Amino acid sequence: MPLAQALVRDGYSVNGSTTTPEKLERLSAEQIRPFLVDLSKDILPEDFLQGDFLIINVPPRSRAGDVGEYLRQMNLTADKLRSSPVRRVIFISSTAVYPDLSRIVKEDDADASSGQYRAEGIFLNMKSPGTTVIRFAGLVGPGRHPGKFLSGKTTGGPTAPVNIIHLDDCVQIVRKSLKAKINEHIVFNACADLHPTKREFYSRMAELLSLPAPVFNDSDTAFKIIDNSRVKKFLGYEFIHKDPMQMDFQ
């Protein structure tokens, strides 16, 4: 919804989807043309795909058994795209595609066996339309204050770096991707510039909400540091929220 609202303000004609009939009216109120889309029931109206761009922001469920159904839904979408006027897909993915290699990871380091990576490939392997994959790090922002994520919980890896992105940057990166003259398929990481430790970040975030701090044991865990240099170079993007410790969550 924040992305759709921003695109309406930019002057785009926006088709918006929901799986819930009761939310159609809310989309209309935001000047978004509402569509009922439910990929689990093969409901994907042709009218919905009448546009230049399709933004796919449908995350897989966390259960391993749901991967096959998720890939089926993405293949259904790809099949429908072939007869549509859409000329570019923006596929919202996740840095969860990277294994914990205890080092900086770049776009080529993804785990090819992961369901999300395989879903990306469905669109990246299409000759047309072109596809931009954006792998977002852990999302924070209004309604997603990280102080609540680990408050009062016991967890390991106190020195592991965190990979966080603010909603403001997510919206801006998609907007920049829509305006960029990109002819080829491309994959971007999107993550804040700085990576405080898990202990530093989540303890401070809980403190800001006056919530119990997480309890960290001393167990070392593997980690990853998401490299964001490609999106900054290719799109000329400068992050609004570079430091997770200084982010505004209102």
CA distance 213 to 206: 6
Q: Is residue 13 part of a domain?
A: no
- Closest-CA residue to 114 (of 129, 97, 90): 97
Distance CA 220, CA 21 (A): 47
pLDDT digits (tens, 9 = 90+) for 66-82: 899 999 999 999 999 99
Query: Does some domain include residue 214?
Result: no
Q: Give pLDDT, residue 219.
A: 84
DSSP classification of residue 60: P
Q: How many domains does the chain have?
A: 1
Tens digit of each residue's pLDDT (9 = 90 or more) over 95-148: 999 999 999 999 999 999 999 999 999 999 999 899 999 999 999 999 999 999
Residues 6+ apart with CB under 8 A from 101: 109, 222, 224
Residue with tokens 């109206």: 45
Amino acid at 65: G
Q: Could you give the angle at the alpha carbon of 63 between the alpha carbons of 62 and 65, nearest 5°?
A: 140
Domain that holds residue 100: 37-143+164-193+223-246
For residues 219 and 221, give the distance between their C-alpha atoms in angstroms, rounded to a whole number: 6
Give the per-residue pLDDT at 61: 77
Structural domain contains residue 152: no
Which tokens hold the place of 62? Answer: 């966390």
Q: Is residue 78 part of a domain?
A: yes
Neighbours of 88 (CB within 10 A): 19
Q: What is the pLDDT of residues 27-78, one digit of tens each?
A: 999 999 999 999 999 999 999 999 999 999 998 876 656 899 999 999 999 9
**Residue 154: inside a domain, yes or no?**
no
Q: Is residue 237 part of a domain?
A: yes
Which of 204, 211, 200, 199 is CA-nearest to residue 151? Answer: 211
CATH number of the domain within which 83 lies? 3.40.50.720
Q: Is 187 exposed, middle or buried (0-12, 13-18, 19+ CB in 10 A)?
A: buried
In a domain, 178, yes or no: yes
In a domain, 173, yes or no: yes
Helix then strand then coil, in percent of the chain rounded to 5, is 40, 20, 40
Q: What is the rounded distance in angstroms from the CA atom of residue 36 to the CA atom of residue 23?
A: 9
CB-hemisphere CA count at 13 Å for 54? 26
